[in-house]
Amino acid sequence: MNEVEVDSSKLQSAKNLATVVYALQALSLLIGISGIAAIIINYIKRDDVAGTWVAGHFRWQIRTFWFALLWAVIGWVTMWLFVGWIVWCAGYVWFIYRVVRGWLNLNDGKEMYAA
C-alpha cells in the first residue's frame, strides 16, 4: 500500500468515527447514556484523527457534549426560578443545532473551526 492509500484509509476511518459519534449524540436525546459513549469515543480516538480535517469535528463534538452538560446543570439548578426551563429549552435547541450542523459539514467534507 502506498502513502496515499494509507492516508485515504485513515481519513475514511476518521470520518466513520465522527459519523458514529454524531449518531450517538443525536441518540442521546432519547437515550442519555449514548452521549457518554460518544464522549468516551471522542477522547479515546482523538489521537487517531489528529492531523486530519476530521480532528476539528472531534473538537466540535467534545465541546458540544461539555457545554450541553453545563447548560443542563444550570437549567436544573435554576429550575425553581422558571429560568431553568428556558435554559433547558435553549440548550436543547442549541444541542440539536450543533449535532445537525456538524454532521452536515462532515458529510460535505467541510472542516469545523477552519482557519
Confidence of residue 64 (pLDDT cuts 50, 70, 90): very high
Question: Alpha-carbon torsion 70, 71, 74, 77, what sign?
Answer: negative
Q: Provide the whole-model pTM.
A: 0.88
Cell of 50: 489528529
The answer to whether the beta carbons of residues 25 and 61 sit under 8 Å apart is: yes
Q: How far apart are CA 11 and CA 5, in angstroms?
A: 10
The answer to whether the beta carbons of residues 91 and 72 sit under 8 Å apart is: yes
Count of residues making up the chain: 115
List pLDDT tens digits, range 14-63.
999 999 999 999 999 999 899 999 999 999 999 999 888 999 999 999 99
